[in-house]
Amino acid sequence: MLKTIQTWFKRTVPGLILASFLVLALGSWAQAQDKAVSPPAKAEGTIFANPIAKPTPPYRSVKEIKKPQRWDESDQKVEIVYFFWYGCPTCKAIDGIITELTANLPEGIRFKRVPAAFRENSEWSAHATLFWALENMGVEEKLHEAVFKAVQPGEEIGHGPVQLLSPDSQKAFAKANKLDAKEFAQRLTEPLNGNALQKTYSYLDKVEMESVPAFVVNGRYVVSIEGRRPISDFPNQALWLAFEELAKAKAGTAQAETKTQDQAK
């Protein structure tokens, strides 16, 4: 009996020890593989909870502007200018998406909504006038969604003719939203409002924009919606271009600083 136990021990225990080593080795390898394929930790300054998906090339509705033209020259931030029209059904449909995607942009990127307006289109100009009047009063952002609903009152997208085209209807909207009637009337006709309209006319001519919704990224690219693609590709493409512009700007700054340091030595 004792001899039988000794024989079993000699044959079995080394196998168990070897198996234990194999299990430990496989466990370490699996952990290493998990680390290798797991997504990196979310970087500070990411746009929103879910990382944006880079649009699949080619994205044909990106047009490079022949002569780069920024909307705002007040600083060196990368700018994303979103052009829309309150009467545009697609603009109304994606407005929430645009708001979400641009809520937490990195420090070096600035986002701005601008109402598109063309000299030959009185409806677009009327709504742009309303936008600038509300912005100059500091309430456009607060009433942005309300304006969309008032201009396109139907529940379904593109229902019926657009509203809020006359000064009287716009004043009625302001009154319904408890704005100061006298101040609003002044804002509708003040020179600052007219200057913004003229700037928009000129700018859209220079960048050769023909439709909305559209983004102008850092004065260099016009991004328009492209048919037969996921709607998310539209804002994502603009954001990717903005990130690329920001990376170029940072690289240029770092190179300039290095050069300055070398010259100082």
At 230 the pLDDT is 83
What residues have CB less than 8 Å from 243, skipping those under 6 apart?
Answer: 106, 109
At 39 the pLDDT is 28
At 147 the pLDDT is 97
Domain 62-245 grouped into CATH 3.40.30.10: yes
Residue-level pLDDT, tens digit, the chain, 265 residues: 444 444 444 454 444 443 443 334 434 433 433 333 222 233 333 333 344 667 777 788 999 999 999 999 999 999 999 999 999 999 999 999 999 989 889 899 999 999 999 999 999 999 999 999 999 999 999 999 999 999 999 866 666 789 999 999 999 999 999 999 999 999 999 999 899 999 999 999 999 998 999 999 999 999 999 888 888 889 999 999 999 999 998 887 666 656 555 556 6
Of 127, 121, 110, 240, the C-alpha closest to 173 is: 127
The residues spanned by each domain of the chain are 62-245
- What pTM does this model have? 0.76
Q: Which two tokens stand for residue 47?
A: 């746009």
Q: What is the C-alpha to C-alpha distance for residues 235 and 224, in angstroms, rounded to an integer?
A: 9
What residues have CB less than 8 Å from 160, skipping those under 6 apart?
Answer: 152, 153, 154
At 238 the pLDDT is 93
